[in-house]
Amino acid sequence: MDTRRGDIFSITLAGLSASLVHVNVTIEHDQFGTFELAGLDEDSWELTRRRVATAIYNTLKRNDLEIAVEITPTGTNNHGGQLDLAIAVAVLLAFEQKSLPSTVVLGELSRSGEVQHVRGILPALKAASTSHAIRHAIIPRADAAEAAHAGLDVRVVDHLRDVLDSLRGSHVLDPAGPRRSTRSYERDLAEKPFMMASVRRALEIAAAGQHPLLIIGGAGRTSAALKLPALLPSMTADEAIEVTSIYSIAGLLEAERGLLGSRPIRLPNYRDATLEKFLGRDDPACPGGVRPGEVSLAHGGVLFLDELLEFRRSDLAALAVALAKGESSGFPARPLLVGASCACPCGFRGDEGIRPCTCTRTEIQRHERRLRAVFDRYFDMQVVLPSVFDVAKPERSEVVRRRVAAARTARAAMAPESETGSEHALWSFAQKRGVLPSNWPKVLRVARTIAALADISGVRAPGKRHVYEAIQFS
């Protein structure tokens, strides 16, 4: 047997950015059979070599081949086994003396040769699709739904033998079909419990201006937050791909779901909140070796922190830094921040109809001071939840969402703050109503959003009535 050569492309990820990897294989006849693997980093080399060599043996049934695999760039990692299938396919191509031009291959192999789910298929293929060199992809069938959105000709396989059979012409690989996704995670405003008008208004303004919102009260804090994602404008195709990619890398994408259709909401609990959970951490199971944090899993949607005062101050400060940067551990991180807290330590202040508050006056004052400090640092708006719900059915979220989308456009078209010239009059108006200089910038920000929501009447700058309403949320 002459020396035979084969090669194929695969992809590795670091955060959401992808790099092409080239797999080169040389096969010669050797009565003892060997499998050499070069170019992988030390962490993944030995397990990959054993797994892939066994899968190839179980598929080709040949133990008289001297196989040498070389991966470039050298030092490439194989987190989650995403390169397994590419290595095996390059061997089959060499053995069969075939080629698969313009193709990337991704998938983990079991030792028996089954092709298994890998994380990060969508961001990997999406990146590959921007390269003129890549037109086709071969991936695990388990990942067909998300791959269908990548803009490549994608074929799916169950077993390494499927690839061998297709190279020999006895099998045609199935295409990955597109799937529709739903908005199932969202709660509609017109679903019970109906929020009171003041709360719905706060949610609408927060959504329109991307204003961090603090919700204070007893019952209904979480149900208020759960109604926010559906009030944000529907995701564009690019946004949906970005958000789905983050979930794919975290291994949180359900197999049957293709592109995520609704904006995410994350509700990390203070009891298991660590800085790493917030900001991302090393995780060899994730492509690129880093698992996105809650701040990135909430990207494009809502990050909801209930019982806000229970979170460590240093964690909140680090979270605020990530939010200001819009990035964490290599992943985008621009969620709408929503915090919530009871109005007192025992939790029943304002809900006295359920059970009387047992806190002392001093305890309540201390609680309020702490809440005020957190509000001043991290939030634009706050709203107190009434202890009752509305009896009348409110507008559907879709109606409010349209208003929010229009307001975002109007707000973006407004003159910059320093050019409006009317700010001094507004500031003295606000000052007379008890607004402190330190809080004025956020009151003005919120007032601009309120003016944008009223833009139907052609409002182009905030006026006193907008400032007046903004003060109610400060």
Residues that bind Zn ion (CB under 5 A): 344, 346, 349, 357, 359
Name the amino acid, one letter, at 43. D
**Could you give the 3-state DSSP secondary structure of residue 301?**
coil
The CB-of-341 to Zn ion minimum distance in angstroms stands at: 12
Q: Which token pair is 165?
A: 């059979």
**Is 13 or 344 the residue whose CB approaches Zn ion more closely?**
344
- Which residue number, 99 or 365, has a Cβ lying nearer to Zn ion? 365
Q: Which is nearer to Zn ion, 209 or 220 (CB)?
A: 220
| CB 362 to Zn ion: min, Å | 12
Min dist CB 350 to Zn ion, Å, is 9
Phi, psi of 11 (to 5 degrees): -140, 140
Of 168 and 372, nearer to Zn ion (C-beta) is 372
β-pairing verdict for 34-38 and 381-384? unpaired
- Closest by CA position to 75, among listed 42, 120, 101, 37: 42
Query: Measured between alpha carbons, how far is 471 from 474 in angstroms, rounded to an integer?
Result: 5
The one-letter amino acid code at 265 reads: I
8 A C-beta contact, residue 84 and residue 107: yes
DSSP string covering 321-338, please? HHHHHTEETTEE--PEEE
Closest to Zn ion by CB, 79 or 349: 349
Q: How buried is residue 346: exposed, middle or buried, by Cβ count under 10 Å (0-12/13-18/19+)?
A: middle
Q: Could you give the CA distance from residue 109 to residue 223 in angstroms, rounded to a whole number?
A: 43
**Pick 128 or 357: Cβ nearer Zn ion:** 357
Report the nearest approach of Zn ion to the CB of residue 352 (Å).
9
Instruction: Please name the residue that has the structure tokens 């964690």.
Output: 315
Distance between start and end Cα atoms, the chain: 80
For Zn ion, the closer of residues 154 and 359 by Cβ is: 359
- Minimum CB–partner distance for residue 312 and Zn ion (Å): 23
**Alpha helices, DSSP H only, in 283-422?**
294-297, 313-325, 361-378, 397-413
Taking the complex as a whole, how short is the minimal distance between the CB of residue 367 and Zn ion, in angstroms? Answer: 8
Say how far apart CA 436 and CA 5 lie, in whole Å: 74
Of 180 and 361, which has the nearer Cβ to Zn ion? 361
Give me the least distance between CB of 347 and Zn ion, in Å please: 6
Partners of residue 214 on adjacent β-strands: 339, 382
**Least Å distance between CB 220 and Zn ion?**
17
